[in-house]
Structure 1
Amino acid sequence: MDARQLKVEAARAALAHVGSGMRLGIGTGTTAEEFVRLLAEKVATGLDVVGVPTSERTAALCRELGVPLSTLEDTPELDLTVDGADEVDPDLTLIKGGGGALLREKIVAAASDRMIVIADKSKLVETLGRFPLPIEVNKFGLRATEVAIGAAAAKLGLSGPVTLRMTGGQPFV
C-alpha cells in the first residue's frame, strides 16, 4: 500500500465512528484531508453531519466537497474531532500542529466529547523529535518567549535552535 492509501485507510477507520446527527471537529493536514474526502462521499449519500474546521484550508476543502460547516460560536459542543498528527511514538504520545493550525486544533479538540487521531505508518517514530516541535507564540514579548523556550529546553538537556517560522518574509500565522 502506498502512503496515500495508508492515509485513506486511517481516515476510513475514523469514519466508522461517525453517525448521522453528529457535530464534528475536522482537523488539518494530509490525513485529515482524506477523512474530509470520505466524509463528503457519505454526506452526498445522506449522512447528516455538521463540521467545525480547524483551519481555513480544511474549511475550503469541506465547502468544495459539500460538507456542511458551522463555527464554534454556533456549535460550541462537538461530539467528535478527527485530526492527524505529525509524529506518534509507541506510547501514543504525539506531536501535532506542524501545519500551523495548533491553536484552533486545541480549541476544537477541547470542545469535543471524543477525539480520534489518525496517522499512517510514516508518522510512527521510536522517539519524538524528528519533526520540529511547534510552539505558538504571541508577537508581544517574542524575544522574551524565545529566551524562555531556550531555557526550558536546556533544563531538559535539549539543545538546538529556536526558530521563528517565516512565510513571505513575515512570521508564520
Structure 2
Amino acid sequence: MKISPAGLALIKREERFMPRKYLCSARKPTIGYGHVILHGEERYLYQAITEAQASALLQADVDAKYGAHVAKRLTRAVAQHQFDAMVSLCFNIGTGGFDKSSVLRLANAGSTDAAAITAAFGLWNKYTDPETKQLRVSKGLTLRRGREAAMYLRG
C-alpha cells in the first residue's frame, strides 16, 4: 500500500513548505516539507529549493521510509485513509515511536472504537522543551493529531 494524494496533502499542510534549511525540533537540518538533510545532500544547506523539489523529496521520504514502514508493521488490511493517517503520524514521530504506538496496536486489532483511536493519536502531542528538557504539550501537535485521527476515522 502507498500513500494517496490526500495523505500527502495532509503531511504537506502539517509540515508547511520551507524553501531554505532550518533546524527541526530535534535540532537536525531540515528543508522542504520536513526532509532531514542527509549526508551527501549538503547542497541543501546552502541553497533554496522549489515547492516541486520539496514535494519530490517528501514523496521519496514517504515511499522509501515511512509508508514502507507502516505497511510492514500492519498485520491486517486497512482502508486507504487509515493508512494515510498512520503514515502522517509515523512521518512526524518516527518509526520507533510508531512501532510503540497504540495507534498501530488498535489498527492491527481491527478496532473501530472512535474514542480509543482519537485518544491513541492524541498521546503524541508532546515535545521536549530544549531549555528545560521537560515534556510539554504542544497546541500545534494536539491539533495535528486531531486532524490525523479524523482522517483515520472518516477519510
**TM-score interval, smaller chain:** under 0.3
Q: Which has the higher strand share?
A: 1
Please, what TM-score do these two structures have when normalized by structure 1?
0.25
How does the TM-score come out when normalised to structure 2? Answer: 0.27
State the structure with more CA Rg.
1
